[in-house]
Amino acid sequence: MRIGVARPFVDCGVSDMNLKLKRRAVLLAVLLAIPSALLAKENQENVAKPETGENAAAPQKGEWIHLLSADTKSLDEHWTTTGNWTLTDGIATLKPREGEEGWSRWKAYLWSKKEFGDFDIEFEYKLEEGGNSGFYFRVGDVSDPVEKGIEVQIYDTDPNQAADKLTDHDSGGIIPGLKPHRNAAKPAGQWNKVEVMHFDDKIVVMLNGVNVNAHDLGPGGQLAKRPRTGSIGFQDHALPISLRNIRIRTPSARTGSTVPRTR
């Protein structure tokens, strides 16, 4: 799929915010242009990440909300699920119950209690051999996330798999249809770190510090009609998975304000 051209951001009417939005637009435009350049290189170079701190562009301004950390006492603080997810020392682990099969048991997914639009999120996952899951976002209906949401694939991708053989169902793929342009997956049994930056329909997926996917999800794309905001969540594919260090920040493109912090 061709990488779309970023649409102009809405004028907020405040000069400082205009400057911040322009910085963000330029940054995401650069990240969206990076994949073709990366394909020409064999060494894995880290792609420059968005700036952080008080002077960052609007989507970087919000403070981190820790949805899963060593301080989390119960998954009920931020999540809801009927699946067999347990929490130990800040790690959420799914061990499917006997007889549980498939991925269409929607209530068994680990769903956030809050909804999100634009966001930056970081999390780590660990799979067993043959593992399969996914990070869902912009899910307008948690009983129909495949059609009413977008998924970043989590999969036990062979680290030696050639980039041109990857599909949207390999780690870092955006389902449906947007395969990763780089393979940065670590083997089963090791922790993988994912960073997803989503702003004004632009998305960048980083896997273990490497830009593996970057697209414009706006008009003309097959994901353009998906809800603009919604729940985020992690798939119960009836296969074990562990998660840790989930944090998110959600600024407003128009005002620069953040959602209320969760304590």
Query: Strand, helix or coil at 184?
Result: coil
Indicate the burial class of 114 (C-beta count within 10 angstroms; 0-12, 13-18, 19 or more).
Answer: middle
- Note the pLDDT of residue 157: 98
The amino acid sitting at 115 is E
What pLDDT digit, counting tens, does each position of 220-260 carry? 777 888 999 999 999 999 999 999 999 999 864 433 433 33
What distance in Å separates the CA atoms of residue 129 and residue 240, rounded to the nearest whole number?
9
- Note the pLDDT of residue 60: 46
The radius of gyration of the chain's CA atoms, rounded to the nearest angstrom, is 18
Instruction: Name the percent of the chain lying above pLDDT 70.
Output: 72
176 preceded by cis ω (within 30°)?
Answer: yes
First to last CA, the chain: 41
What pLDDT digit, counting tens, does each position of 38-76 carry? 444 433 443 334 333 333 333 345 789 999 999 999 999
Q: Mean per-residue pLDDT for 191-208?
A: 95
Element containing residue 210 per DSSP (H, E): strand 210-216
Fold entry, domain 15-249: Jelly Rolls (2.60.120)
Q: Where are the domains of the chain?
A: 15-249
- Model's pTM, two decimal places? 0.75
- Note the pLDDT of residue 42: 38
